[in-house]
Amino acid sequence: MPDQHHPADLSPPIGVSYVMPVLNDASHVRAAVESILAQEYDGPVEVLIALGPSIDGTTELVADLAARDARVTVLENEVGSTPAGLNIGIRAARFPVVVRVDSHSMLAPDYTRVAVETLVRTGADNVGGIMDARGETPFERAVALAYTTPVGLGGSAFHVGGHEGPAETVYLGVFRRSALERVGLFDEAIKRGQDWELNRRLRATGGTVWFTPDLAVTYRPRSSVERLARQMFSTGLWRGELARRFPASNGLRYFVPPAMVVGVVLGTLLGIAGIVQAALGQPPWLLLGFAIPAVYVLFVVAAAFAYARGRGAATAGWFLLVLPTIHTAWGTGFVLGVLSLTSNIAKHTGR
């Protein structure tokens, strides 16, 4: 257990400020806010929605939520990015505990109570738990399955579970506001992966990031291949950027998808060259390059058999597409991020 860094920082009744950046998410934001308002927590609370410029009805929806409950406040986020919205909410927060909430997530009823108790018990700067991905359609269930297996997103504890204790990073997070202020809030230049980067600074300044499996947040996955690919590409792009900026702080698992992408591309090109060799009457030894993509295909099939078996034919079928979509989009983004192309790509795609 970490040292008690903040013995007098939190005293009951402990007030909690929920901060939620929202942009064009009319499909999920109501359920997310309702899960906050239904928390089994005795301290004073406020819900701060940092609203980006939306065109899908989200603006009207959050205005209605604020009109119905005085605990809900809508703040304008002109930039529209997640880190900008988080910082707007944190600066407006009145209470010493800040709970980061995603509009795609729903908190368990005891989430806040357990999180605050853990903050007090451990002295940590930030506590978090499991990203419990749950889908409603066969495609979404396949994405959720990929998220919660080691072959999908690398097997981090906040995806697949683990033992309570200090961690590199956690999903979302419940923070001491004083710790956020100590490190200068979120870096608004980092559009994705800002949680990991902030937690790196918390740890570098003597704080502790604490994982507990007692906390779980229900997460709704993207609903189509296109949306999933865009999300994974953007996430991989910024992960590559972070790997370039902080080369000493990266685990091996981050490099597996980009290595796969590079290997499959090179293997395919070599195999095609082997076909040319055969057409020219030369020994087609470069056809061996096709072994690399073939091995990856076998890996995907084996993973589907191991993890999707018994979950329904539709979910298993989608899993065969979802897994390579995640790996390819994330890995391609990572390579481009490492090559310092993040800013140019983000400028043209808005991500």
Q: Residue 8: is its pLDDT beyond 70?
A: no
**344: containing domain:** 249-349
Q: What's the pLDDT score for residue 5? A: 53
The tokens describing 8, both together, are 């007098």
What percent of the chain is modeled with pLDDT above 70?
91
Torsion of CA 336, 173, 101, 182, to 10 degrees: -90
Residue 142 domain flag: yes
Q: 219 or 327: which carries more pLDDT confidence?
A: 327
Q: What's the pLDDT score for residue 221? A: 87
Query: What is the DSSP secondary-structure string of 22-66?
Result: ESS-TTTHHHHHHHHHT----S-EEEEEEE---SSSHHHHHHHHH
pTM for the complete prediction? 0.81
Residue 315 domain flag: yes
CATH of the domain at 211: 3.90.550.10
Q: Determine the average pLDDT of the residues in 83-95.
A: 95
Q: What's the pLDDT score for residue 4? A: 46
| One domain for residues 75 and 158 | yes
Residue 227 domain flag: no
Q: Residue 119: is its pLDDT beyond 50?
A: yes
| One domain for residues 182 and 262 | no
Q: 12 or 236: which carries more pLDDT confidence?
A: 236
Residue 243 domain flag: no
Helices (H), 101-175: 111-122, 138-147, 150-153, 157-160
Q: Residue 3: is its pLDDT beyond 80?
A: no
Residue 152 domain flag: yes
Q: Residue 343: is its pLDDT beyond 80?
A: no
Domain count, the chain: 2
Q: Cis (ω within 30 of 0) for the bond into 13?
A: yes
| One domain for residues 145 and 208 | yes
Q: What's the pLDDT score for residue 2? A: 46
| One domain for residues 51 and 200 | yes
pLDDT, tens digit (0-9, with 9 covering 90-100), for 123-180 = 999 999 988 888 889 999 999 999 888 888 765 655 556 788 999 889 889 999 999 9
| One domain for residues 74 and 189 | yes
Instruction: Give me the residues paired with residue 18 across strands.
Output: 47, 99
| One domain for residues 174 and 310 | no
Residues 338/240, Cβ–Cβ less than 8 Å: yes
Distance CA 154, CA 255 (A): 10
Q: Which residue, chain included where needed, has tokens 């060799």?
A: 277
pLDDT, tens digit (0-9, with 9 covering 90-100), for 179-226 = 999 999 999 988 888 999 999 999 999 999 999 999 988 888 888 999
Q: Residue 9: is its pLDDT beyond 80?
A: no
pLDDT, tens digit (0-9, with 9 covering 90-100), for 262-302 = 999 999 999 999 999 999 999 999 999 999 999 999 999 99
| One domain for residues 298 and 204 | no
Residue 305 domain flag: yes
Q: What's the pLDDT score for residue 175? A: 97
Helix, strand, or coil (residue 100): strand
Q: What's the pLDDT score for residue 161? A: 61
Q: What's the pLDDT score for residue 130? A: 86
Residue 2 domain flag: no
pLDDT, tens digit (0-9, with 9 covering 90-100), for 69-86 = 999 999 999 988 999 999
Residue 77 domain flag: yes
